Structure 1
Amino acid sequence: MTAKKRVGVLISGRGSNLQALIDAAKAQEYPAELALVISNVPGVQGLARAEAAGIQTRAIKHQDFPSRETFEAALDAALNEAGVELLCNAGFMRLLTGSFVSRWLNRHLNIHPSLLPAFKGLDTHGRVLRSGTQITGCTVHFVRAAMDDGPIVAQAAVPVLPGDTEDALADRVLAAEHRLYPHALRLVASGQVAVDGERASGMPAGMGDSALFSPPLPGNF
């Protein structure tokens, strides 16, 4: 079996998407292992999740550094020290500089709760509901310097239901995220998907460039 890719995860909070990655990585055939979890907020639930799974953790407070660049240098040093090969944002609430993005170019994933390029940024579900959109979802993409931009690895569609509230819609999208992120990381870590120019390519036949699907039940990947 090919050696598993060593993955670092950046978080800022409860780490529910982190937990989905932890659970997926327990499978012997999964092509990635979580090597390090870093939070810019000490004491969050996500760090406890990682520690319970036996994963190395670090709390690196951005407030302890005089600039974004020095904070990111500390992130980079910790990731390299742990031998991280792929990086995943999972609720990491900090924008990263172009310099950091360049160092991890095409090795850095993010998940966003919309079908990008629609509804980039914050207040996603509120904007979806106000727009009258009937289908939303979530996207895993390679990180670029622009917010919520970059080659799309995979997407999952979620219907907007009559009478939806922001919380109800957010809960359904989050459930889709928990299925989508492990699937997308599997594609990248196994080498099935890579970046060609500014597009993700090499997906299984028939899935296309952005792999749009309705997520199956857990365990069906």
Structure 2
Amino acid sequence: MSDFPSRRIAVLISGSGTNLQALIDAQKTPALPHAEIVLVFSNRKAAFGLTRAAQTQPPIPTGYLALQPYLKANPGKTRDDYDAEVARRILEVRPDLIVLAGWMHVFAEGFLDLVGQANGGKGVPVINLHPALPGAFDGTNAIERAYEAFQKGEIEHSGVMVHRVVKDVDRGEPLVVREVPLTKGEALDDFANRLHAVEWEIIVQATKQILDEVLPVPVS
């Protein structure tokens, strides 16, 4: 099995990269066997996740492209053109899987169409981590919205999921779902910290699940 190729992961981030760190720590371990992060890409230049990647031993290659600077430098180009350019840059590293780990930009058809045509027409799967349960609190600020709903007595628990990325925001097939209860009197930051700890677990689980589908490791 020593000649089995590494399963290649591209991770897209926008912020501090704590979910990225969970993947970094898991690569090439029993949690993510024969898996290697080959690119960390951000739409924010100051994202600390880029530093995490650069400081990993050996360093993980990084990339960066922000929407507004791209549009300013390319008059006449659109948001869809930006999405397509991001896709092209990601596909250059020939990933077996693309993981959105705190990527704060909604991709449209320009990205998904190119990714879906890659790999000889088989496409490259794209998964996303979202801090809410399926069908609840789609989009941004999901943690804060769930916390507020709990304060109003509308819900008793929230949760996290990793799902396949489709054109409808946060509506792709759920892969791993975990409920996280809310507690009376708990501060928002404390709830968020508990929820993030669950995120670090399930992003690794879902990444392994999809890699095992597209490039299973032979049984020795």
Same fold (TM over 0.5): yes
Aligned to 1:143: 165
Contact 1:31 1:186 survives alignment (8 Å): no
Quick one: which amino acid aligns to residue 85 of structure 1?
A: D
TM norm structure 1: 0.80
* Residue among 61, 64, 68 paired with 1:56: 61
Aligned to 2:44: 41
Matched, 1:118 2:121: no
Contact 1:88 1:110 survives alignment (8 Å): yes
Matched, 1:181 2:203: yes
Question: Which is further off, 138-147 or 55-64?
Answer: 55-64
Equivalenced residues, count: 193
Name structure 2 gaps, 5 residues minimum: 72-77, 117-123, 216-220
Contact 2:7 2:36 survives alignment (8 Å): yes
Cα distance in 2 between the residues matched to 1:136 and 1:86: 27
Aligned to 1:80: 91
1:110-146 deviations in Å (ceiling 9; x for gaps): 0000111112122323322333322211000000111
State the 1:6 CA deviation. Answer: 0.9
Question: Which is further off, 53-62 or 107-116?
Answer: 53-62
1:46-78 deviations in Å (ceiling 9; x for gaps): 001011121110111222222212322321222
Two-structure CA RMSD over aligned residues (Å): 2.0
* More helix by percentage: 2
Q: Between the two proteins, what is the percent identity of the paired residues? A: 32
Higher relative contact order (CA 8 A, sep 6+): 2
Matched, 1:27 2:35: no
Match of 2:213, SS state, is coil
Greater radius of gyration (CA)? 2
Cα distance in 2 between the residues matched to 1:192 and 1:153: 14
Q: 1:107 to 1:192 in 2, by over 3 A?
A: closer
Cα distance in 2 between the residues matched to 1:176 and 1:144: 23
Cα distance in 1 between the residues matched to 2:214 and 2:17: 26
Q: 1:38 to 1:91 in 2, by over 3 A?
A: same
TM norm structure 2: 0.81
- Structure 1 runs of 4+ with >3 Å offset: none
Cα distance in 2 between the residues matched to 1:77 and 1:103: 8
Match of 1:55, SS state, is coil
Aligned to 1:129: 147
